[in-house]
Amino acid sequence: MNATFKIWRGDANNGAFREYTTEISEGMVVLDAVHDIQRTQATDLACRWNCKAGKCGSCSAEVNGMPKLMCMTRMSDLPLDRPITIEPIKAFPVLKDLITDVSWNFQVKKKIKPFKPRPPDAPDGTWRMQQEDIDRVQEFRKCIECFLCQDVCHVLRDHQMHDRFIGPRFLIYAAALEMHPLDTEDRVEELREAHGIGYCNITKCCTKVCPEEIQITDNGIIPLKERVVDDYYDPLGWIWRGRKKRVKG
């Protein structure tokens, strides 16, 4: 069976959808089709990929308008009676074809205060942690940095507030650090000020597209927002902070 694709081709200056037809076999994913087209019809078609198993987060694109990992999107889940559109993600500038400039994300991460553990618990320099105390952090650390959550976040996608808001990926990153049982750093002020957590209005679009099914909003962003509120808008908190440096929970 054949399928028709409309793949966006172009660069930062201009571009357009181009149509390709390729044969579909059982079990195929969208990335397979893109590779077939690349091999036989458009050898210079640019797309990122690595693991082809949903583990590296490289092949993010919008398939029929939905943010997806191309390697985990089955052709059998798409309607083949009309062309399937594939285009680059929208929150970042296009470099070429399906590739965008995601370097901003790497710069943002560098600005978040790094992990700072408490002194080791045992004389041999190791720590003790209970599994139930790290389940939540492990959920956040499943993130494969595909940036699909950044792509659908309206603060970044529509309002382009990249200079004021770090986006769901890095709120989850900050949450993983803040909720890490060994970490002693305090990131609440930077979350409120430089990282703009207040711009998130909890529409949960990020959670819906996460291929790792991380509960970004409920388990990560909302608890972080609560910490900010506790620290900055709770009158008792003001007094408390005035007297004593905040102790992490």
Partner 1 sequence: MAEYETFEHDVLVIGAGGAGLRAAIEASAAGVSVGLVCKSLLGKAHTVMAEGGIAAALANVDDRDNWKVHFADTMRGGQYVNNWRMAELHAKEAPDRVRELEAWGAVFDRTKDGRILQRNFGGHKYPRLAHVGDRTGLEMIRTLQDHGVHQGIDVHMERTILTLLKQDGRIVGAFGYDRERGRFLVFRAKAIVLATGGIGRAYKITSNSWEYTGDGHALGYRAGAELIDMEFVQFHPTGMVWPPSVCGILVTEGVRGEGGTLTNKEGRRFMFDSVPENYRAQTADNEEEGWLYCQGDKNARRPPELLTRDHIARCIVREIKEGRGSPHGGVFLDIAWIGKKIPNAAEHIKKKLPSMYHQFKQLADIDITEEPMEVGPTTHYMMGGIRVDSDTQMSRVPGLFAAGECAAGINGANRLGGNSLSDLLVFGKRAGEFAAKFAKENQHGAINTTEIENVAREALRPFEQREGENPYTLQGDLQETMQDNVGIVRTEAEMKSQLEHLRKLWEQASRVGVSGNREFNPGWHTALDLKNLLTVSEAITRAALERKESRGAQFREDYPEKDERFAKVNTIISQAADGSIQVRLEPVPEMPDYLKTIIEEMK
- Contacts with partner 1, residue ranges (CB under 8 A): 11, 25-29, 32, 38-40, 43-58, 72, 74, 95-97, 99, 102-103, 106, 109-110, 114-115, 117, 120, 125-131, 134, 137-138, 141-142, 144-145, 177, 180, 183
| Closest separation in Å from C-beta 26 to partner 1 | 5
Of 115 and 233, the one with the shorter C-beta distance to partner 1 is 115
Torsion of CA 35, 59, 91, 98, to 10 degrees: -20
**30 phi, psi to nearest 5 deg:** -60, -40
CB 19 within 8 A of CB 66: no
Closer residue to partner 1 in complex, CB, 21/103: 103
The residue (of 104 and 231) whose beta carbon lies closer to partner 1 is 104
Are the C-beta atoms of residues 140 and 218 closer than 8 Å to each other? no
Q: Which two tokens stand for residue 129?
A: 């942690």
* CB 197, CB 143: distance < 8 Å: no
Instruction: Find tokens 């400039």 and name the residue.
Output: 101
Residue 74 CB, shortest distance to partner 1, in Å, is: 7
Nearer to partner 1, 45 or 200 (CB): 45
Q: How far is the CB of 133 from partner 1 (least distance, A)?
A: 9
Question: How far apart are CB 177 and partner 1 at their closest, in Å?
Answer: 8
Rounded Cα gap, residues 58 and 48, in angstroms: 6
**Closest C-alpha among 108, 109, 107, 85 to residue 98:** 85
Q: Least CB distance from residue 35 to partner 1, whole Å?
A: 9
Using the minimum distance from each CB to partner 1, give the nearer residue, 147 or 231: 147
CA distance 165 to 111: 12
